[in-house]
């Protein structure tokens, strides 16, 4: 009988196996350049069929790191990576990148069809710590349904003496529609290549279908119905925001989904206040 198993590479990553097969690798001490705003990430993240669903450092945006959580702008600190979009000069490379640093593990356990990875992190820009986070990642497998789920919860606290302003290129840079921030899933390139197959699609709550209908729309959930090259396996990836509707960010030509914490207006976070994250991603093999 299959079960979840953890393999800890101390000081670097945690691997999750379902039976003898790799399900996901969570790299909590990344080794990337500062201009990519280093942050913990999942890659590879696989389906129960063994297909890799994520993309790490794609050539179009090397700062996209599989599945990761980030904030685009925190009072002038770029935790997304890459060039920063600001008024009035748009996208430029700037010396403004921040780092998410692992502090300590709180829980690291697996039993049967469930596992929990919980740790604390600090969000730093130069010598200053802006945010302190407690992150809990719950994994469950339903082999009968050919599904596994990742429950991503976090409490992110402003530990500075002043109000922090959370923004994105839409709210802070004037670039309409570019509201990417929050939990980011950079998918394998072939996932949404429809090759004129109408069953390969993006859908969301409320009967929305297609990127023009879903991108920027407020909904509690969104799904990708995709297919992998070589194996031709099909998969449904469901993204859910448990507190309620959010304005989805989605790209199809370079598959990207983000669950933005804010949309068209900057979000102030007072000293001692918490930003609470509660999402589930479900990966169903068809």
Residue 271: count other Cβ atoms within 10 Å of its Cβ. Answer: 12
Task: Please tell me which residue, 90 or 119, carries the higher pLDDT value.
Answer: 119
**Number of domains within the chain:** 1
> Out of 79-93, 195-209, 215-229, 248-262, which region has the weakest mean confidence (pLDDT)?
79-93
Task: State pLDDT tens for residues 131-177.
Answer: 999 999 999 999 999 999 999 999 999 999 999 999 999 998 889 99
Cβ atoms of residues 203 and 221 within 8 Å: no
pLDDT computed for residue 174 by the predictor: 82
Rounded percentage of the chain residues whose pLDDT exceeds 70: 100
CATH number at residue 114: 2.70.98
Q: Is the pTM of this model over 0.85?
A: yes
Per-residue pLDDT of 29-64, as tens digits, reads: 999 999 999 999 999 999 999 999 999 999 999 999
pLDDT range class, residue 86, cuts 50, 70, 90: confident
- What is the span of the domain harbouring residue 146? 4-285
Q: CA–CA separation, 170 vs 178, rounded Å?
A: 5
**Range 54-77 average pLDDT:** 97
Contacts of 63 (CB under 8 A, 6+ apart): 32, 35, 36, 37, 57, 80, 81, 82
Q: Residue 89: which pLDDT band, with cuts at 50, 70 and 90?
A: confident
> Each residue of 178-211: pLDDT tens digit?
999 999 999 999 999 999 999 999 999 999 999 9
Main-chain dihedrals φ then ψ at residue 270, nearest 5 degrees: -70, 160
Task: Say whether pLDDT at 279 is over 80.
Answer: yes
Q: What value does the mean pLDDT take over residues 226-250?
A: 98
Could you tell me the two tokens for 83? 């060039």
């Amino acid at each position: 009988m299959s079960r979840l198993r953890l393999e800890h590479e101390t000081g670097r990553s945690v691997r999750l196996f379902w039976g003898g097969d790799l399900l996901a690798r969570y790299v909590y001490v990344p080794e990337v350049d500062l201009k990519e705003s280093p942050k913990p990430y999942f890659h590879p993240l696989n389906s129960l069929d063994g297909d890799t669903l994520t993309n790490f450092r794609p050539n179009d945006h090397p700062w996209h790191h599989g599945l990761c959580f980030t904030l685009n702008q925190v009072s002038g600190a770029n935790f997304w990576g890459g060039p920063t979009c600001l008024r009035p000069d748009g996208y430029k490379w700037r010396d403004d990148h921040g780092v998410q640093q692992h502090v300590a593990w709180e829980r690291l356990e697996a039993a049967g069809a469930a596992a929990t990875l919980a740790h604390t992190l600090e969000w730093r820009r130069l010598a200053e710590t802006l945010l302190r986070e407690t992150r809990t990642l719950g994994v469950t497998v339903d082999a009968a349904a050919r599904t596994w789920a990742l429950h991503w919860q976090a409490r992110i606290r402003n530990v500075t003496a002043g109000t922090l302003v959370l923004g994105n290129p839409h709210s802070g840079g004037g670039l309409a529609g570019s509201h990417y921030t929050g939990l980011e899933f950079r998918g394998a390139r072939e996932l949404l290549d429809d090759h004129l197959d109408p069953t390969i699609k993006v859908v969301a709550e409320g009967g929305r279908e297609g990127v023009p209908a879903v991108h920027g729309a407020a909904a509690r959930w969104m799904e990708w119905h995709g297919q992998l090259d070589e194996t031709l396996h099909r998969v449904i990836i469901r993204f859910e925001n448990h507190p309620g509707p959010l304005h989805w960010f989605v790209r199809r030509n370079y598959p990207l989904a983000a669950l933005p914490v804010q949309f068209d207006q900057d979000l102030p976070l007072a000293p001692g206040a918490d930003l609470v994250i509660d999402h589930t991603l479900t990966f169903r093999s068809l």
